[in-house]
């Protein structure tokens, strides 16, 4: 339903509902209502504004590609309702030990040969123990030596651990806020939303780039989505990389049969992220394997300029690499 209060003229496509938000100064804080107003804009106006913002900050025909590897799978004590790696749920995901450094390096070499420029490593922990962190820092050093950007997602960090990751040469630390703070305990109860923010603050203080985004399809409302985008945009500075995930309902998890988010609502979220975080990489993340080529193209137009370029996203499936080659060729996109 179109809830705009003004009709945009052909020459001023942003002058509809949300026009105040759409012309907001980059250094101003975003309110939830202002982000929600972006969602309420006529779709064509919203896409125009988002694409205009994207062109002002990035080459619109370039897309960054990252590979993702689960370096320690399953057995996580947390109760994230979407995650097949939680030890609390009966899923097909087995419990595996931390990978050997040489095996991770081998996978990183393969990823680089295929064209990825960033290598992300994820471990199913509440947070790393010191001995585990020593192994991960060695992985970071050796992957970094290959000429790849490095990223890890290891859960919540203790004091001093971010500094050790920085010393190892880590470029990005991923720690998603997942959803709006007010909705968070509907999805996760074993830790608080504020715990996530504490880790993000430690990462930023250590001089590591922040990768933080969220998941759509957890049962949240549009207001919750707008609040999540506003929170990310209001970080000082906003995350350097913002993954937007479309929930993959994993068998055995509480959200296995969650209602899917409307495709246009997902695209609106990509656009809202681009407008509110103009200089951040916006990654089209999980769920891309069930998106049509047309939907992906709309997301790229709305400001997404990063993807996971690998066969698997930790335990979820991803698009076949050849499908990405075909789509990039059709759209005239250049991988970076």
Considering the candidates 151, 204, 274, 288, report the single residue annotated as catalytic.
Answer: 151
Beta bridge partners of 252: none
CA distance 60 to 57: 9
Q: Which of 49, 65, 118, 120 is catalytic?
A: 120
Q: Exactly one of 49, 118, 225, 283 is catalytic; name it.
A: 283
pLDDT by position in tens, the chain (length 336): 333 333 333 333 444 444 444 455 555 799 999 999 999 999 999 999 999 999 999 999 999 999 899 999 887 888 888 988 888 888 877 788 899 999 999 999 999 998 889 999 999 888 999 999 999 999 999 999 999 999 999 999 999 999 999 999 999 999 999 999 999 999 999 999 999 999 999 999 999 999 999 999 999 999 999 999 999 999 999 999 999 999 988 889 999 989 999 999 999 999 999 999 999 999 999 888 889 999 999 999 999 999 987 565 555 555 567 788 889 999 999 999
| pLDDT the model gives residue 17 | 42
DSSP class per residue in 178-227: BS-TTTGGGT--SS-HHHHHHHHHHHHHTTPEEE--EEE-SS--HHHHHH
| pLDDT at res. 310 | 52
Catalytic residue (choose from 49, 65, 76, 288): 76
- In angstroms, rounded to a whole number, what is the distance separating the alpha carbons of residues 164 and 158? 11
Catalytic-residue membership of 80: yes
Task: Kindly state the tokens that stand for 303.
Answer: 């400001």
Looking at residue 91, its pLDDT comes to: 80
Cα-Cα-Cα-Cα dihedral sign, residues 238, 199, 125, 143: positive
In the set 107, 211, 268, 310, the catalytic residue is 211
**Per-residue confidence (pLDDT) for residue 3, from 0 to 100:** 37
Angle CA 225–230–234, to nearest 5: 155
Q: How far apart are CA 159 and CA 37, in angstroms?
A: 39
Contact 19, 45 (CB under 8 A): no
Q: Which of 49, 80, 274, 299 is catalytic?
A: 80
Nearest CA among 218, 201, 321 for reference residue 269: 218
Options 49, 83, 107, 204, the catalytic residue: 83
The pLDDT of residue 9 is 33
216 forms bridges with which residues in the sheet? 246
In angstroms, how far is CA 277 from the centroid of its own chain?
13
- The answer to whether residue 310 is catalytic is no
Task: Please name which of 198, 176, 197 lies closest in space to residue 187, comparing C-alpha atoms.
Answer: 176
Is 211 noted as a catalytic residue in this protein? yes
Tokens of 275: 């407008």
């Amino acid at each position: 339903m179109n809830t705009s209060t003004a009709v945009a003229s052909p020459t001023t496509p942003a002058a509809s509902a949300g026009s105040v938000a759409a012309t907001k100064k980059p250094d101003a804080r975003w309110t939830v209502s202002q982000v929600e107003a972006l969602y309420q804009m006529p779709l064509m106006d919203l896409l125009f504004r988002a694409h205009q913002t994207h062109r002002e900050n990035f080459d619109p025909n370039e897309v960054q590609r990252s590979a993702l590897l689960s370096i320690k799978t399953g057995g996580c004590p947390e109760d994230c309702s979407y995650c097949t790696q939680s030890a609390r749920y009966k899923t097909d995901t087995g419990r595996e030990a931390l990978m050997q450094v040489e095996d991770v390096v081998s996978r990183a070499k393969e990823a680089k040969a295929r064209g990825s420029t960033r290598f992300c490593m994820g471990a199913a922990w509440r947070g790393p123990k010191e001995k585990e962190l020593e192994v991960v820092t060695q992985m970071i050093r050796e992957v970094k030596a290959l000429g790849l950007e490095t990223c890890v997602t290891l859960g919540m960090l203790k004091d001093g651990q971010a500094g050790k990751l920085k010393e190892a040469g880590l470029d990005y630390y991923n720690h998603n806020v997942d959803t709006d703070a007010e909705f968070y305990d509907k999805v996760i109860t074993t830790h608080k939303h504020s715990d996530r923010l504490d880790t993000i603050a430690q990462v930023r203080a250590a001089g590591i780039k922040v990768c933080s985004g969220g998941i759509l399809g957890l049962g949240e409302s549009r207001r919750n989505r707008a609040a999540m985008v506003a929170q990310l945009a209001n970080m000082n500075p906003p995350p350097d990389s913002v993954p937007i995930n479309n929930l993959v309902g994993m068998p055995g998890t509480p959200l296995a049969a969650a209602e899917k988010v409307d495709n246009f609502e997902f695209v609106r979220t990509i656009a809202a992220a681009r407008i509110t975080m103009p200089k951040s990489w916006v990654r089209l993340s999980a769920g891309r394997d069930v998106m049509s080529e047309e939907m992906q193209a709309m997301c790229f137009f709305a400001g997404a300029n990063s993807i996971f370029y690998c066969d698997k996203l930790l335990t979820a499936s991803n698009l076949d690499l050849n499908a990405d080659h075909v789509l990039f060729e059709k759209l005239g996109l250049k991988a970076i």
